[in-house]
Amino acid sequence: MKLKQLEGLLGGLTQFPDPKVELEQYATGPHIASRMLYTAENSFDDIAGKVVADFGCGCGTLAIASALLDAEHVTGIDIDLQSLELAQENATDLELDIDLIQCDIKNLNLKGLLVDTVVMNPPFGTKRKGADMEFLSMGLKVASQAVYSLHKTSTREYIKKSALRNCNAISAEVLCELRYDLPRTYRFHKQKELDIAVDLWRFVPRAPDERAS
């Protein structure tokens, strides 16, 4: 599938009608989502034929992008039931088969499902400090091959240091810097649109027998 076709399909997905500020629910736009998954597949072969999990899947954008790029099996995980219902509607509209699990990422137990690749647009940690690292830490425990994640460019050094020291990453690489065009979503947003610099990261986890206990 070509990049423009992928972006076009993702642009037709229904997004949060009533986003929850406490969960930092912001839609992952089709521009960023398409480039994130297209890079994962075409530069690293991490999607097609692989078992993929989307952490904090929201409306299902990254999970659906993975399915469109021929992932063998896709699971979306989110704590919010309404988001999961919307993700299911979006997947059904495109005739895609994805599994959805309602779960707090801290308590995730995939019961024997072996995941190759984790993709995510985690909370930035502005409402609950450390939320971004909870997602990353669990992603690096679950994935056997790679974790793709978006984080604010302003946190680059912290993310790299934490991933390598504390989260079982053997490598942490910024693949590119993207612009996150965040429309006014909540009442406290003063600007009509906010342009945030974000990094697209690829993390490689240590093999299970090399991980610290």
Q: Give pLDDT, residue 159.
A: 96
Record the pTM: 0.90
DSSP state of 70: T
Given a cut of 70, whether residue 2 has pLDDT beyond it is: yes
pLDDT: which is higher, 160 or 180: 160
Asked if the model's pLDDT at residue 164 lies above 60, the reply is yes
Per-residue pLDDT tens over the stretch 57-75 = 999 999 999 999 999 999 9
Which is more confidently placed, 156 or 212? 156
Contact 102, 78 (CB under 8 A): yes
Domains of the chain: 3-12+25-210 (3.40.50.150)
Q: Is the pLDDT of residue 116 over 90?
A: yes
In angstroms, how far is CA 185 from the centroid of its own chain?
19
What is the DSSP code string of 34-64? HHHHHHHHHHH--STTSEEEEET-TTTHHHH
Q: What is the mean pLDDT of residues 2-7?
A: 96
Answer with the residue of higher pLDDT: 133 or 17: 133
Question: What are 75-79's contacts with CB under 8 Å, separation 24+?
Answer: 75/51, 75/99, 75/100, 75/101, 75/110, 75/113, 75/115, 76/100, 76/101, 77/53, 77/101, 77/102, 77/103, 77/105, 77/108, 78/102, 78/103, 79/23, 79/103, 79/104, 79/105
Provide CB contacts within 8 A for 158, sequence distance 6+. Answer: none
Please determine, for residue 182, whether its predicted confidence score (pLDDT) is greater than 50. Answer: yes
- The strand order across the sheet containing 73-78 reads 99-102, 73-78, 51-55, 115-120, 143-152, 193-205, 169-183
pLDDT tens column, 81-90 = 999 999 999 9
